[in-house]
Amino acid sequence: MPETRIVHAADDEMKDAVRAACALLRAGEIAALPTETVYGLAADALNPAAVAKVFAAKQRPSFDPLIVHIASRGDLKTVAIVPDDIVETVNQLTTAFWPGPLTLILPKHPDVPDLVTSGLSTVAVRQSAHPVFRAINKELGKPIAAPSANRFGRISPTSASAVMKELGGRIPLIVDAGACSEGVESTIISIEPRAGKKPVFHLHRAGPVTKEQLQDYGKVEKVREKPGDLPHAPGQLPSHYAPLTPLVLLEKPEDFKPEPGKKYGLLSYRGEDDGAYITLHDWETVESLSPGSGKLAEAAIRLFFVMRLLDEAGLDAIIAEPVSETGLGVAIMDRLRRASANR
């Protein structure tokens, strides 16, 4: 693989960046692209040979299906077949949340290669709100398959430099549009219709579109994960988003039992001195998700960035403080739990 090229997509350079990405994607190549959630590793979703390169670059097992991104709501019918009994709900959800960080699992259109969906009869679809991604998707005129642009099981990248660390030398191009504005991956749901009642939304992955927001349109139920089962969203393995340094989610400060001579860093929520976590130990380093304010939106944007900083700090372990588990906090705690799961 040749060197990984980075092209910038700031206003005056956007056209060139779009052209460079589309040229590669048309030629059956892959490229890392910015979305509002995290950077994605893109391929023409209708070209199985290109999609295979995504799995290879990420070292992703082929049982873990990819999300398909479409340029407009009208394109949904080209990748999914929406059953009559959920048409109205799909219209409501896509009107409310697209373009944006909501992924819908729907019966797949036969044109979508089995490799994309790992042989499932369903396909995961979303329309990204990122202006650069949208421009590339539109110009390409094809759906784009794109998982997060990290190696399998590792921390999702929210900047071009993070993509470079994950996949540098393994992919030809990264389109750099700065930091992602959401910071955690899209919310994933499937829809179960109920006669005469609002539908049930099965929540496969918590994300920026919160349970509270979805409740206006249906009843939200978290999908239960049974040990030993093939995961319902196959990428949702218990251990995921993991730094190389062990990460411990410390639900209660009193449970901290440091070992002598070991270096510990704190992944703090607000970074304030009065927090029981800050004063708990003489930390090697402290990084805060939302310094001072404790705003969950800021915490989400900074989560993977801060996890990376701590991972690179030469620690024996990262100790993570919980955030309040409401709204976006549900997605943040989900990522912290998976990052701390035994490997």
Summarize as ranges the residues that interact with ligand TXA (CB under 6 A): 35, 37-38, 40, 64-67, 101, 103, 105, 117, 120, 122-124, 146-148, 185-186, 188, 204, 233-236
- Cβ of residue 104: shortest distance to Mg ion, in angstroms? 17
Which among 163, 12, 189 has a CA at the least distance from the CA of 98? 189
The least CB distance from residue 117 to ligand TXA, in Å, is 5
**Three-state secondary-structure class, residue 312:** coil
Q: Tell me how far apart the alpha carbons of residues 146 and 41 are, in angstroms, rounded to a whole number.
A: 5
CA distance to 123, 189, 233, 238, per residue, from 229 (Å): 20, 19, 11, 11
Determine the Cα–Cα distance for residues 277 and 55; give it in Å rounded to an integer.
Answer: 39
Q: Which of 175, 137, 138 is nearest to 157 (CA)?
A: 175
Measured at CB, which residue is nearest to ligand TXA? 235
- Which lies closer to ligand TXA via its Cβ, residue 172 or residue 235? 235
The H-or-E segment that residue 296 falls in is helix 296-311
- Residue 35 binding Mg ion, by CB under 5 A: no
Q: Which residues ranging from 208 to 237 are in contact with Mg ion (CB under 5 A)?
A: none
Min separation Cβ 21 and ligand TXA, Å: 14
Asked whether the beta carbons of 37 and 181 are under 8 A apart, the reply is: no
35 binds, among ligand TXA, Mg ion, none (CB under 5 to 8 A by kind): ligand TXA
Closest distance to ligand TXA from the beta carbon of 313 (Å): 25
Beta-strand (E) ranges in 46-129? 67-69, 102-107, 122-126
Rounded to a whole number of angstroms, the minimum distance from the CB of residue 307 to ligand TXA is 15
Burial of 152 (0-12, 13-18, 19+ CB in 10 A): middle
Nearest CB to Mg ion, comparing residues 157 and 218? 157
Name the binder of 188 from Mg ion, ligand TXA, none, CB < 5-8 A by kind. Answer: ligand TXA
Q: Interface with Mg ion includes 89 (CB under 5 A)?
A: no
Q: Which is nearer to ligand TXA, 205 or 270 (CB)?
A: 205
Q: Residues 112 to 171: which contact Mg ion by CB under 5 A?
A: 148
Closer residue to Mg ion in complex, CB, 39/269 = 39
